[in-house]
């Protein structure tokens, strides 16, 4: 088929038609053809959902750039992405297209110098590629000029929309988009690019909250129905003998040796579950390469590595001149162009089906080539001391459940309803800076009444303002205008202010004048510590705690870095599927024999514990409680039990309750069920929780507890479970 005969091709700007012809396109893909008339002819907001590498970016930009062309290139498009790497990638891709159209493309993040920004300030048109933090800085520092800078704004494109939904950074982005529209006094079209989610309606609601929608302007959702490529799937279990951490390390080394033998001549992405394991595997591969006297072909990639280290790996993957695999975290889960990847290795259970979908989507892009997934799980060898939960092999069962849900095309819906008071604090301070002062009433109208914090009532907003004043973050002048207080001035003028997430004590790791990356460290750490970083072994020769700098020298030994951070919460549906796996009898053909043996052992254990009928199993001086619910409910259940004086912990597959008998726990559950569902303030211990979000320390107790519970707990679901059981 000639591309000229493809639907909508003749409606594109002539330079785009020539570019597509030169690229050898035979036609527009499904999502691109569907988006073209919506974005060319109308003004509705649009969510474009499709798998990785399905052409979502072109689906948005081909019609939007055509509109700029029709407007003689005087308009502006704003592209917001969650990662600098995505901006760098799109700058390269869009730059080639826009050069033909005489449209400037401006990358904008912390690693970009001042020159591109100066050009934009002088001539605000074309395409601006920006992170939420840099957009926050722009609004804050150039508040008086926003009307001029964004006068020609045609649309905002939000890439990887699903990565923003449900957390503080996402609420910040919603507020930023609303503030941009408020600054220029008109509605601006929003286009979201997303992986397929379990509830696209919630994705649309996130992009344009219903209270901002005008009559008849509901968000249009385009979900590609393109058939997924076939999946070549193998699931392998590696048995871990008793021996603690040393035995686990040996098991990981065995996996590394197997991968080294099989993948040296291919391009793969290898996903362990933590930054520390990424570095451990990178070190193992380096040792194996040196022993075999072959060039290194496995390189680490994670967010703590320096820019040059990351970009070197990305460039080598994209060029494809030699076989190379990356051991990575979610940094390569997003849709940056890294060329043709043969397959994906997942080590340990993924937290979410959506994450696994993103990772698999990176592979099998060449023609009709199948995507490959090799799933490795560690499984404890049978032992007399194996506990009740361990005998169910929860890691392997979770991995199985998530793969089954992926094959059934189920994905987690985004979580909605969080209050995000911490982010509201930041947005109040940012709005004061942008407008050089604002009244309390106008701030409430801008952020809550007509903004994204619409679930915050007026009384709660006033209570929050009083807390900000008490801490010296804001003050009122004689005209009752809100201004920054003494501490507020200090905080907003620090570069860390523009991020919604907390600033950690990151130390720069330096070797021979080159920065390799950063790691969080304690102030009591002293020189002499050994660490594995960037796939190599180092000794910390000198630590400057004032400058947060560590000078490294090569070492013969090293330890994987321990970094803080938690995975994504597990959804109710995943735990339900785990129970279905344990209660079932099927053995998928893609399990190796070791995985089959572990699955059979877990199922025998499940039957022996009578978990199909009972939810409580005594062990030692305590009880294991099996709700088979997601982390939000199980963490809520932990809070309810602790409020009754019991020592409870959520261990994923079960809730462990210490120093209690089955009759006593049954009685407590009945007491919880008989009473009304308590408020967060009644069951949470603030001192034990700490301050998980950036501005939590400012919040009054009631608002803190409500905010924490709204984003992390399902107390109502936990209470309902007690009623049912």
Decide if 3-223 and 231-382 have a common fold.
yes
| Confidence band, pLDDT 50/70/90 cuts, at residue 18 | very high
Tokens of 504: 């950690």
User: How far from 246 is each of 236, 243, 253, 281, 291, CA to CA, in Å?
Assistant: 21, 6, 11, 15, 22
What percentage of residues in the chain have a pLDDT greater than 90?
Answer: 78
Q: Look up the pTM and report it.
A: 0.93
Confidence (pLDDT) at 1: 35
pLDDT in tens, 214-248: 655 689 999 987 666 788 999 999 999 987 889 99
The residue-averaged pLDDT of 383-409 equals 93
Which CATH number, 3.50.50.60, 3.40.50.300, 3.30.1490.190, 3.30.430.20, labels domain 231-382? Answer: 3.40.50.300
Which among 581, 604, 601, 652 has a CA at the least distance from the CA of 382? Answer: 601
Confidence (pLDDT) at 649: 97
Residue 5 has pLDDT above 50, yes or no: no
Say how far apart CA 242 and CA 205 lie, in whole Å. 50
Query: How many alpha carbons lie under 13 Å from residue 101 in its C-beta half-sphere?
Result: 33
Which DSSP category does 699 fall into?
S
Confidence (pLDDT) at 386: 84
| Confidence band, pLDDT 50/70/90 cuts, at residue 338 | confident
The residue-averaged pLDDT of 7-17 equals 89
Say how far apart CA 572 and CA 570 lie, in whole Å. 7
CB 16 within 8 A of CB 97: yes
Which CATH number, 3.30.2130.10, 1.10.3720.10, 3.30.70.260, 3.40.50.300, labels domain 3-223? Answer: 3.40.50.300
Confidence (pLDDT) at 504: 77
Say how far apart CA 163 and CA 175 lie, in whole Å. 16
With 0-12 / 13-18 / 19 or more C-beta atoms within 10 angstroms meaning exposed / middle / buried, residue 397 is buried
| Polymer length of the chain | 725
Confidence (pLDDT) at 3: 47
Confidence (pLDDT) at 370: 85
CB 640 within 8 A of CB 672: yes
* Rg over CA atoms, the chain: 27
Say how far apart CA 536 and CA 411 lie, in whole Å. 37
Residue 139 has pLDDT above 50, yes or no: yes
Residue 208 has pLDDT above 50, yes or no: yes
CB 13 within 8 A of CB 61: no
Strand, coil or helix: what is 296? coil
CB 160 within 8 A of CB 86: yes
Structural domain spans, the chain: 3-223, 231-382, 509-554, 614-724
Which among 542, 452, 408 has a CA at the least distance from the CA of 166? Answer: 452
Query: How many alpha carbons lie under 13 Å from residue 311 in its C-beta half-sphere?
Result: 11
CB 431 within 8 A of CB 179: yes
Long-range contacts of 2-8 (CB under 8 A, 24+ apart): 2/26, 3/27, 6/33, 7/33, 7/36, 8/32, 8/33, 8/36, 8/37
Say how far apart CA 657 and CA 624 lie, in whole Å. 6
Confidence (pLDDT) at 273: 87
Of residues 717 and 3, more confidence is placed in 717
Residue 585 has pLDDT above 50, yes or no: yes
Say how far apart CA 702 and CA 309 lie, in whole Å. 45
Task: Give 192's strand partners.
Answer: 47, 158
| Confidence band, pLDDT 50/70/90 cuts, at residue 85 | confident
Please enumerate in sequence order all residues whose Cβ is within 8 A of that of 180, keeping only pairs 6 or more positions apart, or say none. Answer: 78, 135, 139, 146, 150, 153, 156, 188
Tokens of 664: 């006593």
Confidence (pLDDT) at 582: 98
User: How far from 724 is each of 294, 629, 674, 717, CA to CA, in Å?
Assistant: 61, 13, 11, 11
pLDDT in tens, 349-392: 998 999 999 899 888 766 667 889 999 999 998 876 789 999 99
The residue-averaged pLDDT of 104-125 equals 94
Tokens of 679: 């408020």
Highest mean pLDDT among 16-30, 202-216, 554-568, 679-693: 679-693
Tokens of 330: 């979610």
* DSSP letter string, 226-286: PPPPPEEEEEEEEEE-S-HHHHHHHHHHHHHHHHHHHHTTS-EEEE-SSHHHHHHHHHHHH
pLDDT averaged over the chain? Answer: 93
Strand, coil or helix: what is 303? coil
Confidence (pLDDT) at 6: 54
pLDDT in tens, 276-299: 999 999 999 999 999 999 999 999
Say how far apart CA 38 and CA 52 lie, in whole Å. 22
Say how far apart CA 488 and CA 480 lie, in whole Å. 17
**Residue whose structure tokens are 């994670």:** 302
């Amino acid at each position: 088929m000639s591309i000229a005969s493809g639907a909508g091709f003749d409606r594109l700007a002539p330079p785009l038609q020539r570019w597509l012809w030169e690229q050898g396109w035979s036609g527009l893909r499904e999502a691109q053809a569907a988006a073209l008339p919506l974005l060319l002819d109308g003004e509705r907001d649009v969510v474009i959902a499709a798998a990785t590498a399905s052409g979502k970016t072109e689906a948005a930009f081909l019609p939007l750039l055509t509109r700029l062309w029709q407007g003689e290139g005087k308009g502006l498009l704003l592209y917001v992405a969650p990662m600098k790497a995505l901006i760098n990638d799109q700058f390269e891709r869009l730059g080639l297209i826009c050069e033909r159209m005489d449209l400037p493309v401006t990358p904008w993040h912390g690693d970009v110098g001042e020159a591109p920004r100066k050009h934009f300030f002088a001539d605000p048109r074309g395409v601006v590629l920006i992170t939420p933090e840099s957009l926050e800085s722009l609004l804050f520092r150039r508040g008086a000029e926003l009307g001029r800078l964004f006068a020609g704004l045609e649309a905002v494109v939000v890439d990887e929309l699903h990565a923003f939904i449900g957390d503080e950074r996402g609420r910040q982005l919603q507020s930023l988009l609303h503030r941009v529209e408020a600054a220029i006094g008109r509605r601006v079209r929003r286009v979201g690019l997303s992986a397929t989610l379990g509830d696209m309606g919630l994705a649309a609601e996130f992009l344009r909250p219903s209270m901002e929608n005008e009559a008849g302007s509901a968000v249009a959702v385009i979900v590609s129905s393109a058939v997924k490529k076939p999946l070549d799937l193998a699931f392998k279990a590696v048995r871990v003998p008793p021996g603690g951490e040393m035995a686990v390390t040996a098991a990981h080394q065995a996996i590394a040796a197997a991968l080294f033998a099989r993948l040296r001549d291919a391009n793969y992405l290898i996903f362990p579950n933590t930054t520390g394991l990424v570095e451990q595997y990178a070190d193992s591969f380096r040792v194996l390469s040196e022993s075999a006297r072959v060039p290194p072909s496995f390189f680490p990639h994670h967010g703590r590595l320096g820019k040059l280290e990351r970009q070197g790996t990305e460039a080598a993957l994209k060029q494809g001149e030699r076989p190379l695999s990356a051991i990575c975290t979610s940094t390569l889960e997003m849709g940056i162009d890294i060329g043709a990847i043969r397959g994906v290795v997942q080590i340990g259970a993924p937290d979410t089906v959506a994450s696994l979908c993103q990772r698999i989507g990176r592979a099998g892009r060449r023609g009709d080539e199948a995507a490959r997934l090799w799933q490795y799980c560690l499984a404890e060898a049978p032992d007399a001391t194996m506990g009740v939960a361990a005998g169910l092999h929860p890691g392997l069962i979770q991995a199985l459940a998530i793969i089954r849900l992926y094959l059934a095309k189920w994905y987690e819906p985004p979580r909605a309803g969080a209050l995000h008071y911490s982010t509201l604090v930041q947005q109040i301070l940012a709005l004061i800076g942008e407008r050089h002062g604002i009244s309390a009433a106008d701030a409430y109208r801008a952020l809550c009444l007509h903004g994204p914090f619409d679930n915050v009532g007026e009384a709660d907003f006033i209570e929050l303002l009083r807390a900000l004043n008490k801490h010296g973050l804001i003050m009122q002048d004689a005209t009752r205008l809100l201004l920054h207080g003494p501490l507020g001035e200090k905080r907003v003028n620090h570069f860390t202010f523009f991020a919604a997430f907390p600033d950690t004590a990151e130390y720069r790791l330096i070797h021979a004048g080159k920065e390799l990356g950063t790691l969080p460290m304690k102030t009591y750490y002293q020189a002499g510590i050994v660490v594995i970083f960037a796939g190599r072994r180092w000794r910390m020769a000198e630590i400057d705690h004032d400058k947060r700098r560590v000078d490294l020298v090569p070492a013969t030994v090293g330890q994987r870095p321990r970094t803080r951070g938690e995975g994504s919460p597990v959804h109710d549906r995943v735990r339900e599927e785990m129970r279905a796996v344990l209660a079932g009898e099927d053995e998928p053909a893609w399990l190796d024999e070791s995985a089959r043996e572990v699955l059979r052992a877990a199922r025998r254990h499940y039957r022996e514990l009578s978990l199909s009928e009972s939810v409580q199993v005594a062990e030692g001086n305590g009880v294991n409680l099996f709700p088979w619910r997601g982390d939000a409910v199980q963490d809520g259940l932990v809070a309810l039990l602790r409020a009754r004086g019991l020592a409870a912990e959520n261990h994923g597959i079960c809730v462990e309750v210490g120093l209690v008998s089955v009759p006593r726990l049954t009685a407590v559950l009945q007491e919880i069920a008989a009473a009304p569902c308590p408020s967060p303030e009644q069951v949470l211990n603030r001192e034990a929780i700490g301050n998980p979000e950036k501005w939590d320390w400012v919040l009054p107790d009631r608002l803190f507890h409500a905010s924490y519970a709204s984003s992390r707990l399902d107390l109502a679901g936990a209470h309902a479970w007690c009623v049912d059981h």
